[in-house]
């Protein structure tokens, strides 16, 4: 029997951090080896047992203190914290799974640079269902021409800050890729005050924020006389947490590089 994989979690006290604790506890082949929270968090210095973990490690104030004894790190912190977390992993030569979204362009560039030194999985959504949806959206966009308008709708809880969500943007990129274009060419984010018809070939985005919605995403292909809707609804953050743990296990032993959940799940090699 293999020893459990020791994992460090950045952002342990947040919604996804707590879901990761639950997923780690149920996995049987993973153990929480370290954790950290933001400098302002009241959880700093307290045991992760208070958050429901069997582990006795204390919540560190920064990434360096969380990485002792870990073989891989999972980041579900805040976008502004990711860069420091990445740098700490590079110093220790540890692979890293990044599920945080809403990063600035300079942070994305730094992540790409860091992936030349350590293997990194970065994905806006870690669930198996969403990654299958990405493939289906790309295939559908490839088969249907511009006579079918594309609209991406997403709904999340009232506290989510980035909009559209990282997953919605990934779905838009998948649709654009299917059409042989970039999302920047086709995206349509703001229609307020517009007095012109929908631009042919545009990929529109609609955003809902409210209540405690975990995450709903629908991509609609609207033609004349028919409409195709591809939908994923998340009812429990455990789906994302389980995917992140799967990614962590896959990542250990990989060569440096920037990977996606498509790589983890082998979806990039599927023929459609």
What DSSP string describes 154-218?
Answer: EEE-TT--SSS-HHHHHHHHHHHHHTTS-HHHHEE---TT--SPPPTT-EEEEEEE-TT--EEEE
Q: Is 25 left (phi over 0), alpha (psi -120 to 50) or beta?
A: alpha
Residues 157 and 104 reside in one and the same domain: no
Bridge-based pairing state of the strands 203-209 and 215-222: unpaired
pLDDT string in tens for the chain (272-residue length): 578 999 999 999 988 999 999 999 999 899 999 999 987 889 999 999 998 888 889 999 899 999 999 999 999 998 999 999 999 999 999 999 999 988 999 999 999 999 999 999 999 889 989 999 999 999 999 999 999 999 999 999 999 988 899 899 999 999 999 999 999 999 999 877 777 888 999 999 999 999 999 999 999 999 999 999 999 999 988 999 999 999 999 999 999 999 999 899 887 644 33
Q: What is the CATH number of the domain that holds 95?
A: 3.40.50.720
Structural domain containing residue 144: 128-234
Return d(Cα 68, Cα 198) in angstroms, integer: 54
Q: Are residues 114 and 13 in the same domain?
A: yes
Sign of torsion over alpha carbons 119, 124, 130, 133: negative
Of 38, 127, 24, 113, the residue nearest 72 (C-alpha): 24
Gap between the Cα atoms of 228 and 211, Å rounded: 27
Distance CA 92, CA 140 (A): 43
**Per annotation, catalytic residue among 156, 161, 192, 195:** 156
Same-domain pairing of 215 and 241: no
Q: How many residues does the chain have?
A: 272
Q: Which of 172, 33, 9, 177 is nearest to 100 (CA)?
A: 9
* DSSP string of 88-135, one letter each residue: HHHHHT--EEE------HHHHHHHHHHTTTSEEEE-S---HHHHHHHH
Catalytic residue among 116, 135, 160, 249: 160
Query: Model pTM greater than 0.75?
Result: yes
- Contact 157/212 with Cβ under 8 angstroms? yes
Work out the number of other CB atoms within 10 angstroms of the CB of residue 267.
16
Q: Are residue 20 and residue 92 in the same domain, yes or no? A: yes
**pLDDT at residue 272, as a whole number:** 38
Q: Taking Cα atoms as reference points, which of 151, 198, 202 lies closest to residue 179?
A: 202
Write out the two tokens for 186: 């086709």
Say which CATH number the domain at 170 has.
3.30.360.10
> Does residue 189 share a domain with residue 146?
yes
- Active-site annotation holds for 249: no
DSSP-derived secondary structure letter, 70: -
Number of domains in the chain: 2
What is residue 181's predicted lDDT score, i.e. its pLDDT?
96
56 and 103 in a common domain = yes
Pair 111, 12 in one domain: yes
**In sequence order, what are the residues at sequence separation of 6 or more whose Cβ sits closer than 8 angstroms to the Cβ of residue 178?**
137, 138, 139, 140, 141, 142, 143
Q: Do 224 and 243 lie in a common domain?
A: no
CA atoms within 13 A on the CB side of 219: 25
Same domain, 62 and 133: no
Query: Are 90 and 132 in the same domain?
Result: no
Q: Are 116 and 152 in the same domain?
A: no
Q: Is 158 exposed, middle or buried (0-12, 13-18, 19+ CB in 10 A)?
A: exposed
Pair (116, 245) in one structural domain: yes
pLDDT value of residue 217:
97
- For residue 160, indicate whether it is catalytic: yes
């Amino acid at each position: 029997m293999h020893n459990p994989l020791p994992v460090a979690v950045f952002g342990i006290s947040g919604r996804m951090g707590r879901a990761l604790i639950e997923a780690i506890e149920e996995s049987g082949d993973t153990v929480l080896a370290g954790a950290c929270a933001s400098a302002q968090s009241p959880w700093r210095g307290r045991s992760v047992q208070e958050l429901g973990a069997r582990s006795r490690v204390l919540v560190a104030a920064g990434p360096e203190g969380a990485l002792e004894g870990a073989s891989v790190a999972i980041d579900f912190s805040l976008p502004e914290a990711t860069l420091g977390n990445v740098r700490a992993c590079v110093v220790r030569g540890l692979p890293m799974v990044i599920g945080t979204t809403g990063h600035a362009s300079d942070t994305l560039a730094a992540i790409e640079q860091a992936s030349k030194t350590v293997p990194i999985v970065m994905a806006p959504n870690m669930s198996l269902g969403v990654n299958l949806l990405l493939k289906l959206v790309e295939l559908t966009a490839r088969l249907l021409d511009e006579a079918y308008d594309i609209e991406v709708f997403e709904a999340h809880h009232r506290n989510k800050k980035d909009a559209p969500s990282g997953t919605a943007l990934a779905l838009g990129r998948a649709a654009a890729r299917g059409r042989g274009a970039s999302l920047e060419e086709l995206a349509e984010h703001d229609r307020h005050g517009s007095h012109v018809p929908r631009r042919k070939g545009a990929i529109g985005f609609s955003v809902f924020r409210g209540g405690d919605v975990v995450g709903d995403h629908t991509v609609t292909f609207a033609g004349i006389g028919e409409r195709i809707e591809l939908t994923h609804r998340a009812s429990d953050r455990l789906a994302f947490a389980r995917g992140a743990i799967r990614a962590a296990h896959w990542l250990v032993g990989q060569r440096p590089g920037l990977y996606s959940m498509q790589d983890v799940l082998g979806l990039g090699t599927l023929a459609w």
